[in-house]
Amino acid sequence: MQAMAAAARHPTPTPPADAAWPCLTRGPAGELWLDVAVSPNARRTGVDGLFDGALRVRLVAPPVEGKANAALLAWLAGELGLPKRAVTLLRGESTRRKRLALQADEAAVRRWLEAHK
């Protein structure tokens, strides 16, 4: 019974069509999901490749009181040319591993990922 409840809270994403970017998947309703591994307190904010199936992002912001989460969402929205409301945190509020929902064109996100290899 608990396994069924857990599955409802954390639906399984659709596997990526492109094996080059395992961090980019689609949710059950077709929304775009991006898995991110965050490294706070970095010297600069930016993408640092893939790490264990997630996009590694280094953030200058400290991991206190949600500052790193807010910085991540604002930075990613700016990088993708999206309004801040188009990038939301689905999972990982207090962990380094996060899942974000993006209201964006998948092709544009893939181009951005390719530019940051």
Report whether pLDDT(18) > 80: no
Q: What is the percentage of the chain residues whose pLDDT exceeds 90?
A: 72
pLDDT, position 80: 96
Structure confidence by residue, pLDDT tens digits, 102-112: 999 999 999 99
Structure confidence by residue, pLDDT tens digits, 60-89: 999 998 899 999 999 999 999 999 999 999
Question: Which domains, from first to last, does the chain contain?
Answer: 32-115 (3.30.1200.10)
Instruction: Give Cβ neighbours of residue 13 (< 8 Å, ≥ 6 apart).
Output: 25, 26, 27, 28, 33
Q: In DSSP terms, which residues pair with 14 in a beta bridge?
A: 26
Q: Is 18 left (phi over 0), alpha (psi -120 to 50) or beta?
A: beta
